[in-house]
Chains A and B, each alone.
Chain A
């Protein structure tokens, strides 16, 4: 009896994916296809606009971003609106994070009252549309507490996003191993010290990605305050259009500015993420 010859597997190539898929995924074909798809979309919009006789005036757009006149360099309305959007977003996000942390800690406190208050707040905020919440703050709480439209806007955004942020923080805190709590307890730390020195520093890396998403979300939802005429990016866009009737150009520009802002933020945070990446 002879041993059956084993096929020599060493150095044998793996089976390859089907030819069709290989061609479609090769770099030149993929890039070419992508360019064609994009060109079709742009061309389609352009033709559509031509057919309705739209008068493109892109040359008039840059002056709303910045201008050089006899008086020298000046930022345009869109740039100022962007600054305002950033300011409202940063302010709301900071407030939302503080409030969110408070709600998360209440929820985790183990006190029945704390949990009840936190859950009540969460359900209340999560089940009211952002626009209605804004109206409540501006038309109802505004007159009662003497809030101006700016304060009402910031508070609306902060309260709305604090509900979502508290869930992110809670998940981040829960993601830290229970052994860390026990180790901190066993050297006599108070709950505050445990959070401050042991738990929260380790939670940051769990929280950063969803918190970035939340910041992007907040920047985008800040556009809603244009309905009560707070002078931010979207309001500026509406104002320019009512003066110039260039709705296509201006809305494309405003959308691009929002995109640039949020993409920049995401890139910045991915650097931070690498910094906080600690292997366990």
Chain B
């Protein structure tokens, strides 16, 4: 049974890397258009969780549905799903042998089957959206980190995705470039896109999040709206974590 207002529904997910229990009985629901920010100490399973959402990792038990498609290893519809679910990586992962424009058009052309003209038109639209239309013919290595990450966001958007997953998108950036990427993400949030963001940028979280999630040791410890989350978290562990990252 699929509910039209639900984009991602995870029920009792467990994930193991060998003997390591990375996700422990994780259940979470992301609504359509919802902005969710996930935070927590490193190794808490945040990245693993969102990497399960587009099948870059497979959960070992439980049930996961994304946009009405059930996700499991070997699912026939997994590539259809990945076209709907964009992913932005900590290390950008742009294709270094292709120009910015080619990075944006290769997916739509080879996967969606658009013509070059159509794909380039879409690509230029999204390059405008991330404020770097003038870099279209450069190679990734010629751009700054912030610009590369914005290209990576545009690359996902070019697939006309319905959900965007962000895996620590600003963690690999020099401090002065973090804001240009966050600004683009805030603008994207304004368009009604469903977003799941793993980040420790709490300023960004306060601005856009509908729901805050705190994870620790593979478990979801706290799920609450930002008001409650920042002022009066229910768990002591979450309060401690927030103190550590906010207190300076």
Contacts and interface: CB of A to CB of B under 8 A. Distances in A.
A280 B97 CA distance: 8
A104 to B, nearest CB: 20
Given A182-B56, A193-B111, A187 B93 contact: no
Contact of A187 (B55, B80, B111, B139): B111
A278 B97 contact: yes
A182 B82 contact: no
Contacts of B207: none
A177 B79 CA distance: 21
B96 A189 contact: no
Contacts of B94: 183
B56 A197 contact: no
Contacts of A177: 93
A179 interface: yes
A202 interface: yes
Given A182-B89, A193-B110, A187 B159 contact: yes
Given A185-B56, A189-B111, A193-B111, A280 B82 contact: no
B79 A188 contact: yes
Contacts, number: 65
B141 A188 contact: no
A187 B83 contact: yes
Interface string B148-175: 0000000110010000000000000000
Nearest to A198: B95
Contact of A188 (B56, B139, B159): B159
B97 A201 contact: yes
A48 to B, nearest CB: 55
A187 B78 CA distance: 11
Of A186, A188, A197, A201, most B-chain CB atoms within 10 Å: A186
A197 B96 contact: no
Contacts of A183: 87, 89, 93-95, 155
How many chain B residues sit at the interface, stated as a range, is 20 to 34
A270 interface: no
Chain A interface helix/strand/loop/mixed: helix
A190 interface: yes
Interface in B105-137: 106-107, 110-111
A279 interface: yes
Interface residues of A, number: 20
Given A182-B56, A183-B94, A278-B97, A189 B139 contact: no
B211 interface: no
A193 B159 CA distance: 16
Contacts of A190: 79
Interface in A146-180: 177, 179-180
Nearest to B161: A187
B139 A278 contact: yes
A272 to B, nearest CB: 15
A187 B89 contact: no
A179 B89 CA distance: 8
A185 B95 CA distance: 12
A202 B96 contact: yes
Given A179-B89, A197-B106, A279-B141, A186 B97 contact: no
B245 to A, nearest CB: 26
B128 to A, nearest CB: 20
Interface in A189-208: 189-190, 193, 197-198, 201-202
A182 B93 contact: yes
A167 B141 CA distance: 29
A207 to B, nearest CB: 14
A185 to B, nearest CB: 6
A193 B156 CA distance: 17
Contacts of A280: 96, 141
A180 B155 contact: no
B82 A186 contact: yes
Nearest to B79: A188
B94 to A, nearest CB: 7
Given A179-B91, A193-B110, A186 B56 contact: yes
Given A179-B93, A183-B87, A187-B86, 9 more contacts: A183-B155, A185-B56, A186-B54, A187-B106, A187-B155, A188-B80, A188-B159, A189-B79, A197-B110
26 contacts: A177-B93, A179-B89, A180-B95, A182-B87, A182-B89, A183-B89, A183-B94, A185-B55, A185-B56, A186-B54, A186-B56, A186-B82, A186-B86, A186-B87, A187-B159, A188-B111, A189-B79, A189-B110, A193-B110, A197-B110, A198-B95, A202-B96, A278-B96, A278-B141, A279-B96, A280-B141
Interface of B: 54-56, 79-80, 82-83, 85-87, 89, 91, 93-97, 106-107, 110-111, 139, 141, 155-156, 159
